[in-house]
């Protein structure tokens, strides 16, 4: 039987160091399922900082979400790319990814548990102020971030980038403790207007502090360059929407946690 290292205690040697930005793998478990996340932080900060969970799209953990965690670290946060699938579940193509994501959407208890485990892992990191936690997610990860909030988890704010908005338990919105920001492609065929309208009713009926921003000429996956540029396929990169949505997220977290004074980096290279 494989020997397990206690939960939260594994932090491998730094994998990446761009100037003062450090990333580490962190292994944690859901029962017998091994999960592997990555934490990113600026090692010059001597005090604890807000932590931001990053939930991946239907393809699983990737260089895209790893980069988002590092980008958050450059803003002064501790970013944590969560692993919702598990180390042995890595879709090799979109067909496999669709099947895996659907299995999680059909089992919201599992999806919420995996999101909660990521939250607990981040809370236990010594550089994190555990009373100041936020979450962001992309596509399937946006759904995960919203489900984490609907579970009543102690997160101050959640941001969904072109994520699915539906839920089988809309009354659970009454459990949401923090603020909600949804960044949505106005022409997204995978999250149609009726789903958006149902989400708005859900949030309003529950008395949640929420905001939904729509970007014109944007479809699903508009933040990801790997999505290509053909809107007719339903998923495509839109640089303007990607940049504007990231700025909106920054403003959202600045208001939640206060603007972080980031030291100048003369040697930082992107």
For residues 126 and 245, the answer to whether their CB atoms sit within 8 Å is no
Q: What are phi and psi of 61, to 5 degrees?
A: -60, 145
Q: How far from chain centre, in Å, is Cα 138?
A: 6
Does residue 66 belong to any structural domain of this protein? yes
CA–CA separation, 122 vs 101, rounded Å? 23
Run of H or E including 145: helix 140-150
Q: How far from chain centre, in Å, is Cα 167?
A: 17
Q: What is the largest CA-CA distance in the chain?
A: 53
pLDDT tens for residues 158-200? 999 999 999 999 999 999 999 999 999 999 999 999 999 999 9
Domain enclosing residue 194, as ranges:
49-257
- Specify the pLDDT at position 47: 86
Number of folded domains that form the chain: 1
CA–CA separation, 97 vs 3, rounded Å? 30
Does residue 5 belong to any structural domain of this protein? no
Q: Closest Cα to residue 249, out of 159, 139, 147?
A: 159
Does residue 177 belong to any structural domain of this protein? yes
Residues of the chain with pLDDT under 70: 1-19, 263-270
Does residue 37 belong to any structural domain of this protein? no
Does residue 56 belong to any structural domain of this protein? yes
- Specify the pLDDT at position 263: 67
CATH number where 158 lies: 3.40.50.1820
Q: What are phi and psi of 228, to 5 degrees?
A: 80, -165
CA–CA separation, 167 vs 90, rounded Å? 25
C-alpha Rg value of the chain to the nearest Å: 18
Does residue 262 belong to any structural domain of this protein? no
């Amino acid at each position: 039987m494989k020997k397990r290292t206690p939960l939260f205690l594994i932090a491998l040697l730094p994998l990446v160091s761009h100037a003062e930005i450090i990333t580490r793998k962190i292994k944690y478990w859901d029962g017998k399922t091994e999960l592997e996340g990555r934490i990113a932080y600026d090692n010059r900060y001597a005090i604890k900082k807000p932590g931001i969970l990053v939930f991946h799209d239907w393809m699983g953990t990737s260089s895209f979400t790893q980069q988002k965690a590092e980008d958050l670290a450059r803003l002064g946060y501790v970013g944590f790319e969560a692993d919702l699938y598990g180390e042995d579940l890595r879709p090799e193509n979109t067909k496999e990814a669709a099947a895996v994501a659907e299995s999680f959407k059909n089992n919201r208890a599992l999806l919420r548990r995996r999101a909660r485990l990521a939250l607990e892992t981040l809370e236990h990191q010594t550089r994190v102020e555990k009373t100041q936690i936020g979450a962001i997610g992309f596509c399937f990860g946006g759904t995960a971030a919203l489900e984490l909030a609907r579970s009543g988890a102690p997160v101050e704010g959640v941001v969904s980038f072109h994520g699915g908005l539906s839920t089988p338990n809309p009354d659970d919105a009454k459990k949401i403790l923090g603020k909600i920001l949804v960044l949505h492609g106005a022409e997204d065929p995978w999250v149609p207007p009726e789903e958006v309208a149902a989400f708005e009713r859900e949030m309003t009926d529950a008395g949640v502090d929420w905001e939904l921003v729509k970007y014109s000429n944007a479809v699903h996956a508009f933040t990801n360059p790997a999505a290509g540029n053909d809107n007719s396929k339903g998923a495509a990169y839109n640089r303007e929407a990607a940049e504007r949505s990231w700025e909106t997220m920054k403003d959202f977290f600045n208001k939640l946690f206060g603007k972080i004074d980031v030291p100048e980096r003369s040697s930082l290279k992107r």
